[in-house]
Structure 1
Amino acid sequence: MITEKLKGAMPLGRVAVGVISILALLIVANKSIFYAEPGYVYHVRTITGQEKVVSDVGYQFFLFGRWNSWKRALTVQAVRGGSETLDYVEVENSETSAALPPQNIMFLDQVDANAQATVRFTIPTDPDSFLHLAHEYRTPENLLRTALIPAFKETLQANASLMSAEEYYSGGRTEFNTEFENQMINGIYIVRREEISQKRVGEIKGSANVAMGTEQQDYGDDAKV
């Protein structure tokens, strides 16, 4: 009787071991394998403390690793239909973008206007640059709120200081767009107004009064700004 019981218990033990092995493999696979989607860069941290940057498409294996995805290009735009009071970030399936209302800008001649613009920021994929970005901001949402959105607003306003509203509406729109792109890529120009006073050379005569004839009196002072 004892022998028969032992023989019957052995298959059950093997089944239990098999089930436990399968569960262990599933747990390891769940914590160590992920699929890298096209259009994303992944920040991977392993159980040994190593960090990896994954940009190749396909299944990736990192033993008990943790990862988060960064979209290769983040969009910031100011368009009609955005929030009228608050900036907001749309996050859906790790596709991150920020939609703002049209931004109020002030031209050089103190004329204000509401401007619309769209900018796409490309995330670096080389390990050094990407890891520096990931360490400083941790998530794409933090990068948008603390760096990209403020830079977008500041650059748009700085660009308006390069020309007057009259210059813009008399054919300077292309130049405005070009300079905005240049500043987003290379940095903001520092613009300041300077007034220079000079002495006029020679005497100036003239009047708007035609009744005075050709022999007109001097008018004004000898300085110009």
Structure 2
Amino acid sequence: MLTFLGFLLVAFAIAMTFVYPYLRKTNGEIDVNGNRQPPHSPLLTMWDFKMRAGVFAFGLVLLLLSESVIFAKEGHQYYILSPSGARSTIMTPGIKFVVPFSKIQEWEKFIDIKCVALDKKGNYKQDVTGIEGIIPNGINVRFIDKVDANVYASVRFEMPNDDASFIKLVETYRQPSNLINNTLLPTISEQLKNVTFMYSAEDYVSGSATDYRMTIEDALKNGGFVVKKVEVRDTIYNETGIDSLVKKKRSIKEINKFIRNEKIFVNGIPKRIPHEINVNKIITAQVIIDDVDLNKAFEDKLKQQRDISAEKIIEIQKVETARAAQQRIVAEGERDKAAERVKQEKLQVNTLIAIETRVKEEESNRQLAEIAVKTAELEARALLIKEKAEADANRLKVNAGLTPQEKAQIEKETRIGVAHELSNMQVPTNMIINGNNANGNSTESLLQIKLLKDITNK
């Protein structure tokens, strides 16, 4: 607006400069001397030289002001080329002053690239407002196991933050559309295809999806990977049937061979190849893998494998259930056998204890009987020794000159005393003879007992 107004005032002042002499000539009066006097028209008076100069200066100021001041918007970066050929940039928002009549080129600070699906009519299935780069129906990639897929990715790029890199980028591509179509879209497609060839579709659906997405983001941010080709063998087994489940035997169905790319590491760090995004110091701000649409034939194969796996799991569960029931029955039988064994062992222990008790009782009785016999034998021997001593004493007395009457009296008293002592002695009525006693004489013991009984009965 200021540019237009300033240009209008300057043009008007210049036009009045050329028109003013003509107006004076046509409206001036001739004095008495024959000279034309300045017109007395108020309009001509107003547009004298000073007024024209003022309008021209004011218009020029407005024009210069409009060309010197710009308002930098948030989320934009500006490339400035001055009339002298100097280059500069504006990276921050706000009111900025530049050299008048400089060439100013505005760039978005962020560039969004998005893969969008199309419907049957060829229209986008979602809103694409504000998206600078659109990839219809995603990027077609191929896994190492020959499975095709369409990858739907959303990537946001940020322009370089330093002046030199941004100036070089603008001068190289001139327009954002050239950068998007000639660099960003081809680089994204290339990196997705390279990374995808490092994985198999089976690995992706089996748990490597997160690693796959992280690898894509790493490749776009830090550069492509230097890879080597490695031969991979994928062995497929036949595992259907009860026999294979119970006996756990597998037969090889087929062996697939294919080549895949693996990263090359140097001191534990992947070796990389810089791509155009890194070379131009464009920052990959965000990478999102919205979806990976696998080939329909592979999807059908996955469904079939899922159904087979479900049946296999059911059969395995049945086998495990039957095996558990069998083990339970065996365990219960072992438990009952153990209980019966414990019961019988208790009975045997009770019987053995009773027998051992009786044996110990008999042994105690035998020992008591032996002690009683020995005691009686000792007492009898003591009594015989005593009687023998008294008899010897009496015999000595007789030999010393006892009268027959005294001898008879002594013998009588002796017999009465012996009889009295024998009548008070307890003689065992039962006797247990140990046959293992090598020192004892059973015949002698019986004779001694009979002798004692005969003496007692007298």
TM-score by structure 2 length?
Answer: 0.38
Question: Alignment partner of 1:116: what SS?
Answer: strand
**Aligned pairs (5 A) from 1:88-167:** 97-101=132-136, 102-167=138-203
Which amino acid is 1:44 matched to?
Answer: I
CA 1:31–1:71 in structure 2 vs 1: closer, same or farther (change >3 Å)? Answer: same
Matched, 1:173 2:209: yes
The structural deviation recorded for 1:120 is 0.9
- What CA distance in whole angstroms lies between the structure 1 residues aligned with 2:131 and 2:115? 15
User: Where do 5+ consecutive residues of structure 2 fail to align?
Assistant: 1-30, 32-36, 123-127, 233-242, 244-257, 259-458
Which amino acid is 1:122 matched to?
Answer: E
Q: Any idea what the Cα deviations from partners look like across 1:44-73, whole Å, max 9, x if unmatched? A: 011111111101211222221111111111
The structural deviation recorded for 1:192 is 4.3
The structural deviation recorded for 1:4 is 7.0
- What CA distance in whole angstroms lies between the structure 2 residues aligned with 1:8 and 1:116? 72
2:117 equivalent in structure 1: 80
Matched, 1:64 2:101: yes
- What CA distance in whole angstroms lies between the structure 1 residues aligned with 2:205 and 2:131? 34
The structural deviation recorded for 1:167 is 0.4
- What CA distance in whole angstroms lies between the structure 2 residues aligned with 1:176 and 1:134? 33
2:56 equivalent in structure 1: 20
| Cα pair 1:76 1:118 within 8 Å, conserved | yes
Query: Of residues 75, 80, 83 in structure 2, which corresponds to 1:47?
Result: 83
CA 1:96–1:135 in structure 2 vs 1: closer, same or farther (change >3 Å)? Answer: farther
- What CA distance in whole angstroms lies between the structure 2 residues aligned with 1:195 and 1:146? 34
The structural deviation recorded for 1:132 is 1.5
CA 1:8–1:147 in structure 2 vs 1: closer, same or farther (change >3 Å)? Answer: closer
Which stretch of structure 1 is more off in the superposition, 2-11 or 167-176? Answer: 2-11
The structural deviation recorded for 1:78 is 1.2
TM-score by structure 1 length?
Answer: 0.74
CA 1:116–1:4 in structure 2 vs 1: closer, same or farther (change >3 Å)? Answer: closer
Larger radius of gyration: 2
1:183 equivalent in structure 2: 219
- What CA distance in whole angstroms lies between the structure 1 residues aligned with 2:72 and 2:131? 17
Greater RCO (CA < 8 Å, at least 6 residues apart): 1
CA 1:174–1:8 in structure 2 vs 1: closer, same or farther (change >3 Å)? Answer: closer
User: Where do 5+ consecutive residues of structure 1 fail to align?
Assistant: 86-90, 197-209, 211-224
The structural deviation recorded for 1:144 is 0.8
Which stretch of structure 1 is more off in the superposition, 68-77 or 17-26? Answer: 17-26
User: Larger % of helix: which?
Assistant: 2
| Cα pair 2:143 2:201 within 8 Å, conserved | yes
- What CA distance in whole angstroms lies between the structure 1 residues aligned with 2:231 and 2:206? 25
The structural deviation recorded for 1:81 is 3.5
| Cα pair 2:114 2:131 within 8 Å, conserved | no
Question: Alignment partner of 1:194: what SS?
Answer: strand
Which amino acid is 1:71 matched to?
Answer: E
| Cα pair 1:76 1:120 within 8 Å, conserved | yes
The structural deviation recorded for 1:189 is 1.8
1:202 equivalent in structure 2: none
| Cα pair 1:31 1:66 within 8 Å, conserved | no
Question: Alignment partner of 1:172: what SS?
Answer: helix
CA 1:166–1:114 in structure 2 vs 1: closer, same or farther (change >3 Å)? Answer: same
| Cα pair 1:73 1:123 within 8 Å, conserved | yes
Which amino acid is 1:75 matched to?
Answer: D
| Cα pair 2:113 2:131 within 8 Å, conserved | no
- What CA distance in whole angstroms lies between the structure 2 residues aligned with 1:187 and 1:8? 73
Question: Alignment partner of 1:193: what SS?
Answer: strand
For the aligned residue pairs, the C-alpha RMSD in angstroms reads 3.1
User: Larger % of strand: which?
Assistant: 1
| Cα pair 1:33 1:60 within 8 Å, conserved | yes
Q: How many residues align?
A: 192
